[in-house]
Amino acid sequence: MTALRTINGLLVAPGAGAGELAVTYGTAAAGTVLAAALALDAGYAALPVAVIAVVAFDMFGGAVANATGAAKRRFHGPGESPSRRLGFVAVHVQPFLVALTVPGYGWAAAALLYALAVAGALAATAAPESLRPPVAFGAAVLGTAVALAAFPVPAALLWLAPAMLVKLLLAHVLPA
């Protein structure tokens, strides 16, 4: 049981309840199946499908996990700093992994999505407390539109920008 608790603590948050775990893993699984099905339908080889599946699990599941009360206590509790939350956003380099392995998803699209996530997190974190939610939501919706309009994105990856920006800007950066 300790190993399972450790895994849940890493993937969701320490102390996550049964309901939080069920919704997180259920969404992660559904998103993974959807993304893998889209990748297979697009005719991608095994490696791109596997990368897409892993990234989808992280993005779909992470959007839910970061919205749980357990994750809010973990990332916004005593001793946690805005710089640590920004660091969490900064390590999300999955768009570059996708660009490396998935045909049709370019480096420019990856760099733009990454920059939009980091810039949105910086803007929301720097905003006065009362404006953090509207700034984060604005960055998420505008970032999604820009990421999808600026460069061609394969249809099988249209979920990536909104899932990543929801996970990082709305679920992770915001305290509640």
Judge contact between 69 and 24, C-beta under 8 A: no
Judge contact between 132 and 120, C-beta under 8 A: no
Judge contact between 39 and 47, C-beta under 8 A: no
Mean pLDDT by 10 residues, the chain (176 residues): 88 93 97 98 98 98 95 85 91 98 98 98 96 98 98 97 98 90
Quick one: pLDDT at residue 1?
Answer: 67
Cα angle 30, 34, 19 (rounded to 5 degrees) comes to 10
